Structure 1
Amino acid sequence: MFKLGTYQTLNVARITEYGYFLQNTSSKTDGEVLLPNKLALRELQEGENVRVFLYKDGEERVTATMQDPDVTLNEVAFLKVKDANDFGAYLDWGLDKDLFVPHSEQIDTMREGQQYLVYMYLDEQTNRLAATTRLDRFMESENITVEEGEKVDLWIWKETDLGYKVVINNTHEGLVYHNEFFEDIFYGDKTVGWIKQVRDDNKIDVTLRPIGYDKVEPNAQHILERLRHKDGYLDLHDKSDPEKIHNRLEMSKKTFKKAIGRLYKKEIIRIEDDGIYLR
């Protein structure tokens, strides 16, 4: 079945002057979908399997592309408005046809050139891909798929009196309290966090620090801060040159080894041959 907004691996059934007609070999009822020449990133051979993304072109025909969009079905992204008119807003999502946001799906009127956090869905009435800034409607609050202590992907969503609402793994709404922020964050930022608590009412508290972070001694905390600023990786380990460690962290090799040993025991970091990583 051809499912809009998703990647599928299809087979090149035939080649024409317009492009490649693809089919799903596991289903004989799907028919064919065209991969236009301009959307094929390389020359393909008949019988070859190819991974493509499916959407509708300007003529409302199901179309395949080898390009990668900035968002797929049931995901969140921070996208820029290319145009806005009486019908709605049109977002740049990396493909030749813009992603549409109806006026009814805009909390505030979207403006050209501005970026917005949106959720992409399939409109069942029109069978078209569309986006919305009304993320609340698509957040799952009954079946919680995360556990306390789990590392998760986050989108910074909107500020409240208590902190910032975040989108967890494109699926759940969570809250990061104001006292959990130790660096500047902004609406639309994508980052990682850890599940601090899943409450009895299924509301989720999130922290931007690994669980156990606040319970480590100052040297270990200093290393953790550096790891966060370096995208979770430092090219230092217990065999690194003492001078290199001192220049980078302003601590002795002995202190460094003791600190990363404690972090390792708390399962906050992992130690590899090329350096240390946040878990």
Structure 2
Amino acid sequence: MENYLPGQIVTLTVKRVIDTGYVLTDTDHEALEILLHTNEAGDTKLTEGDAVDVYLYHDKQKQLIATTTIPHVTTDVFDWAEVTEVKPGLGVFVDIGTSKHVLVSNDDLPEFMSAWPTVGDVLYVTLKHDKNNRLLADPVTETDFEGNWDLATDALFNQDLGARVFRSGKEGAVAITDDGYRAFIHHTERKREPRIGEWIEGRVIKVKPDGTLNMSLLPRKQEAQEVDAEKLLTYMQQNDGEMPYTSKTDPEVIRQTFEMSKAAFKRAIGKLLKDRRIIIGDTKIVLTESKSDPS
């Protein structure tokens, strides 16, 4: 048994047929017995002496068992695997194409859970064994991609692209686009730290000489202006049609109150003024439909 590990794809022989399935063995090690349950044999009908290709994994009792379902992720092959369960303190489980989902250890996930993937996110993984020969899924690193990135052209500048995040940290995140380009998102070009495995939509703000991209997850100024203006409108509508903030208000107060910069605040105010939605006073701003005195 010591020669066989979970995660391996091997060819074994049917030693005998039983009510619940098949007992498999290695003709060179006939003491070996591994169960292939009927539910894991699919439509395959086997008889004694038949050879069958199987994938090995541990069941809940830590017994090594087999399935004829071959996963799309192996110890030699990377592929995308969807997150099916999150276990704080332990890690996340991913679906590699078999009934037994595989753990990505918290040791291989970001330090802060806010950057952990959630159910439905997709990680690019391979399989590995820990020191106790426990099967784990191992997320890809940039080193694994080294030299395999597709080279972006200048035509992508300012284009909207979708990408999957595979590294995330305080300084920034790295994602791979649908077309295989490496995209870096600096922390100043996002409102929050994206999760690894998360699908993001951004725009290309720079095509670098080495063919990689810099992306921004922030909306374009015109789009942001509309969103920010709506945020100010909602605030005033919920506060008797006014707010005690103007272009003279301290930038930090603006940031803490509305989560926007002073420049963005001014642009939003400018839009509301142009649309004749507000009246600006010395100490406050009021909605035009409000009867408050803005002075």
Report what 1:23 is aligned to: 25
Report what 2:121 is aligned to: 114
Report what 1:32 is aligned to: 33
* Counterpart residue type for residue 92 of structure 1: D
Give the aligned length: 162
Report what 2:9 is aligned to: 7
Q: CA deviation at 1:128?
A: 1.7
CA contact (8 A) 1:119 1:135 kept: no
Cα displacement string for residues 134-193 of structure 1 (whole angstroms, at most 9, x for unaligned residues): 5357x4xxxxxxxxxxxxxxxxxxxxxxxxxxx3xxxx6534332288796743678799
Report what 1:59 is aligned to: 61
Report what 1:82 is aligned to: 84
The 5 A counterparts of 1:158-173 are 167=145
For residues 26 and 178 of structure 2, the distance between their equivalents in structure 1, rounded to whole angstroms, comes to: 35
Say whether 1:129 aligns with 2:135: yes
For residues 70 and 211 of structure 2, the distance between their equivalents in structure 1, rounded to whole angstroms, comes to: 30
CA contact (8 A) 1:34 1:64 kept: yes
For residues 76 and 178 of structure 2, the distance between their equivalents in structure 1, rounded to whole angstroms, comes to: 16
The 5 A counterparts of 1:1-279 are 1-25=3-27, 27-28=28-29, 31-41=32-42, 42-86=44-88, 87-107=90-110, 108-123=115-130, 125-136=131-142, 139=144, 167=145, 174-179=148-153, 186-187=163-164
Unaligned runs of 5+ in 2: 165-175, 182-209, 213-295
In structure 2, the residue corresponding to 1:31 is in which secondary structure? Answer: strand
For residues 154 and 128 of structure 2, the distance between their equivalents in structure 1, rounded to whole angstroms, comes to: 31
* Counterpart residue type for residue 31 of structure 1: L
* Counterpart residue type for residue 36 of structure 1: H
Residues 97 and 185 of structure 1: is their aligned pair in 2 closer, same or farther, counting only changes over 3 Å?
Answer: same
Residues 186 and 19 of structure 1: is their aligned pair in 2 closer, same or farther, counting only changes over 3 Å?
Answer: same
Q: CA deviation at 1:6?
A: 2.7
CA contact (8 A) 1:81 1:91 kept: yes
Provide the identity percentage: 25
In structure 1, the residue corresponding to 2:148 is in which secondary structure? Answer: strand
Q: CA deviation at 1:127?
A: 1.0
Unaligned runs of 5+ in 1: 140-166, 194-204, 208-279
Residues 180 and 130 of structure 1: is their aligned pair in 2 closer, same or farther, counting only changes over 3 Å?
Answer: farther
Bigger Rg, which one: 2
